[in-house]
Every structure is written in C-alpha cells, then in structure tokens.
C-alpha cells in the first residue's frame, strides 16, 4: 500500500528541543504501532522496526525487497540491553564494547528467544550493536526496545548516507524518515562473529582487522570469500552484487590499462581514490564528471554519496579507479568490488547494463 512518507529533521546537538521531542514522540508511536521509521546512525541510515515484534520485522523485508534469509542487525542503546538479548557474553565482547561502543562495530553472539526467527533468518545468533549517533540511541531509549535495522535502501542498491537517499529508495513504502544530516562514518559497521572458535570478520568496516587484533590480543580471521548472490552465506549481505548503482559501473584495478573510450559519445562519471599520480587519460571535460576521494576516512564518508550522485547524473557509465590493495582501503575495496564489474566481465559495449 502506498503511504505518505514524512521527512522530519532532528538536530543531533539538540535532542531535547520541543521540535526534536515532537519528532521522537511520533517516531516512537509509529514503531510501537509495528510500523517502520528510517533513522540516522553514524554509518548509514537504518530502516528500523521493533526487533521483538515479528510482524513489524516482516515489513522491513517487504519495504526493502530483501530476501527473508538475510538477517538484520539489532540496535541497542546500552550494554545491559545488548546483554539482555544475547545468551552468552564472552570476555571478547566486553573488550569490543569497552573499546568501540558506542560505534561502528556489530558483534554476532547466540541470541535469546526474545529475538524472533524473522530477525535472524532463523539463525541461532544475532548481530548486535550500540550506534554512536545520538539520535539513534535516543530513539531506541525512548522506544524501550531494540530496533532491528538494515541499511535504509532497496535490497542490493546503494546504501543511504542522507535522508534524501533514503527517500529516493523508500518514499511511499515507510511512514517516517528522521533527517539527522549526512552520516559521519559513511560505510556500514564492521561485523565481527564472536559465536565461534575464533573471532571472525564477516564484513570489513571502519574498524579494521589490525585494530581488532590489538584490542583482542588474539588472531582475528576474515571471511574474504564473495559468494554468488543466491547462495546462502555465512553473512548473506556478503553476496556478489550489492551496493550497486543502476548505471553500468566498471572497476579498474591499479595498473590495469584503460578501456577504449574513443567510441563513447555519452557522458561518463569517474571516481578515483588515493593520492597516487596515476596516468589519467584526457577525457572531454564536458563529457566526464570526476570525483576524487584522496584518503580512506574521507573516502568512506563520501563513497555512497559519490555513487548516488553519479547514478543520478546523466552519466551512462561509471568508471571506478580502485584504491590500492592496502589495509586502510579494505572496507572501501570490499564495497566497490560488489558495486562494480571488472572490465573482463564486461562485453565490448561498456554502457550495456547488467
């Protein structure tokens, strides 16, 4: 059913103003009614429902067009809430919480029966995190329940870092978008599985494997493998196609020769990363939009904004000049590999869509 989606702003530095309180009141009412509210976190905007309400959680999958097997992250406002919904709490979880929460890391632990099957795709574990965005935490606190929230985009699309991005994907499908301005971190949380033998990174993010090793003082494994889209994965969000623009988007690894663009008569967009003086071909400036993201923190913050912008422009092809294969770029490279095709996967017509 088509609904009217309200977009209402809250100033993250003024949660207690009359205006902010009115928005929180409405948001809490909608959530307690079993409906959906998009809200900012420090990583990307989330599409929230009360995690303990299976009917509400089902609506998330409907609004996103997400396969029900792909589990949702549960957002809590404090440590005691996290412990209330997990069955075990190993010392590693304490270390992560102490060093990184509130913040952009999700841990996977055995769930209690208060977390419904719908949230976890019937897995016995739950992904849980305390976001650092004050609007997110205040919303959870006022609701009094954890919020299940995936990124607030249509399944496999580009993640949202502004309320406008959310609206582009989900207007008419949800009741309310809380606008808290552009997100600060810009890419999704690191996902760390603490339910098995060894801590294992299921999705790289802002908090790096090196930082985790230093804090946990033990080896940290990484699931590097990208699995085909339809296959059930350890972390199904790690499927091959994800975060993808509608516009054909091709990646070039450092040192890879440029494709022949001489026959291309339509506009293109180019995103490049890092500070290296790589050899760039001369492209007709009227025909090309360049975006340069020189260092990892800025690149994380602005990656999705850049992809949204080029996808919404008149470009018929997006070229992504990949950053180097170095630890600081791991999370960015992970997202870009899923958002793009390599040149060898692409036929002679570069602008042909997937």
What does the block give as tokens for 298?
A: 């800025």
- At 239 the three-state DSSP class reads strand
CB of 256 vs ligand TXA, minimal distance in Å: 28
Under rule CB under 6 A, residue 86 binds ligand TXA: no
- Which CB sits closer to Mg ion, 237 or 274? 237
Binder of residue 41, out of Mg ion, ligand TXA, none (CB less than 5 to 8 A by kind): ligand TXA
For residue 230, which phi and psi values (nearest 5 degrees)? -90, -5
Contact with Mg ion (CB under 5 A): which of 83, 92, 106, 151?
A: 151
Burial of 8 (0-12, 13-18, 19+ CB in 10 A): middle
Please say whether the beta carbons of 305 and 299 come within 8 A. no
CB of 72 vs ligand TXA, minimal distance in Å: 6
Please say whether the beta carbons of 156 and 66 come within 8 A. no
Contact with ligand TXA (CB under 6 A): which of 23, 81, 107, 191?
A: 191
DSSP string, 145-205: S-EE--BSSSTTSPPPSSHHHHHHHHTTTSSEEEE--S-SS-SPPEEEE-SSSS-EEEE--
CB of 188 vs Mg ion, minimal distance in Å: 6
Contact with ligand TXA (CB under 6 A): which of 83, 167, 189, 289?
A: 189
Helical pair 91-100 and 209-216, crossing angle rounded to 10 deg: 120
Please say whether the beta carbons of 31 and 143 come within 8 A. yes
Site for ligand TXA in 43-62 (CB under 6 A): 43-44, 46
Contact with ligand TXA (CB under 6 A): which of 73, 115, 220, 336?
A: 73
CB of 342 vs ligand TXA, minimal distance in Å: 22
What does the block give as tokens for 211?
A: 């930082």
- Which CB sits closer to ligand TXA, 274 or 296? 296
CB of 219 vs Mg ion, minimal distance in Å: 28
Give which of 99, 107, 62 is closest to 82, Cα–Cα.
Answer: 107
Total residues at the site for Mg ion (CB under 5 A)?
A: 1
* Eight-class DSSP state of 295: S
CB of 189 vs ligand TXA, minimal distance in Å: 4
- Which CB sits closer to ligand TXA, 189 or 249? 189
Please choose, out of 82-90, 122-130, 285-293, 310-318, the segment that lies near ligand TXA by the rule CB under 6 A.
122-130
Please say whether the beta carbons of 237 and 204 come within 8 A. no
- Which CB sits closer to ligand TXA, 77 or 235? 235
Burial per residue of 108-143, b for 16 or more beta-carbon CB atoms within 10 angstroms, e otherwise: bbebeeebbebbbeebebbbbbbbbbbbbbbbbeeb
Q: Which residue is nearest to ligand TXA (CB)?
A: 237
Contact with ligand TXA (CB under 6 A): which of 20, 83, 151, 289?
A: 151
CB of 188 vs ligand TXA, minimal distance in Å: 4
**Could you list the residues that contact ligand TXA (CB under 6 A)?**
41, 43-44, 46, 70-73, 104, 106, 108, 120, 123, 125-127, 149-151, 188-189, 191, 202-203, 235-238
**Could you list the residues that contact Mg ion (CB under 5 A)?**
151
């Amino acid at each position: 059913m088509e609904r009217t989606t309200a977009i209402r702003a809250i100033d993250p530095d003024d949660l207690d103003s009359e205006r902010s309180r009115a928005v929180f009141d409405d948001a809490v009412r909608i959530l307690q009614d079993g409906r959906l509210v998009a809200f900012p976190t420090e990583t990307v905007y989330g599409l929230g429902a009360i995690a303990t309400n299976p009917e509400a959680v089902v609506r998330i999958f409907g609004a996103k067009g997400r396969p029900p097997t792909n589990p949702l992250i549960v957002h809590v406002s404090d440590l005691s809430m996290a412990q209330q919904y997990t069955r075990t709490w190993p010392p590693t979880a304490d270390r992560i919480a102490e060093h990184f929460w509130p913040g952009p890391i999700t841990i996977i632990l055995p769930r209690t029966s208060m977390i419904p099957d719908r949230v976890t795709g019937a897995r016995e574990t739950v992904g849980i995190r305390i976001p650092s965005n004050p609007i997110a935490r205040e919303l959870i606190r006022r609701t009094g329940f954890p919020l299940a929230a995936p990124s607030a985009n249509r399944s496999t699309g580009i993640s949202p870092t502004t309320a406008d991005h959310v609206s582009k994907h989900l207007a008419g499908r949800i009741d309310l978008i809380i606008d808290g301005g552009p997100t600060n971190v810009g890419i999704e949380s690191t996902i760390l599985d603490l339910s098995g033998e060894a801590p294992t990174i299921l999705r790289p993010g802002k908090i790096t494997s090196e930082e985790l090793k230093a804090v946990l003082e033990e080896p940290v494994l990484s699931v590097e493998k990208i699995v085909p889209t339809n296959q059930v994965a350890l972390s199904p969000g790690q499927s091959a196609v994800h975060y993808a623009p509608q516009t054909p988007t091709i990646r070039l690894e450092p040192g890879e020769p440029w494709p022949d663009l001489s026959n291309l008569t339509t506009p293109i967009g180019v995103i490049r990363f890092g500070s290296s003086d790589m050899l760039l071909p001369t492209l007709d400036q009227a025909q090309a939009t360049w975006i340069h993201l020189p260092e990892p923190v800025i690149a994380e913050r602005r990656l999705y904004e850049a992809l949204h912008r080029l996808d919404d422009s008149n470009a018929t092809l997006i070229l992504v000049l990949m950053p180097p294969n170095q630890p600081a770029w791991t999370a960015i490279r992970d997202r870009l590999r899923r958002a793009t095709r390599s040149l060898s996967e692409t036929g002679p017509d570069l602008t042909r869509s997937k």
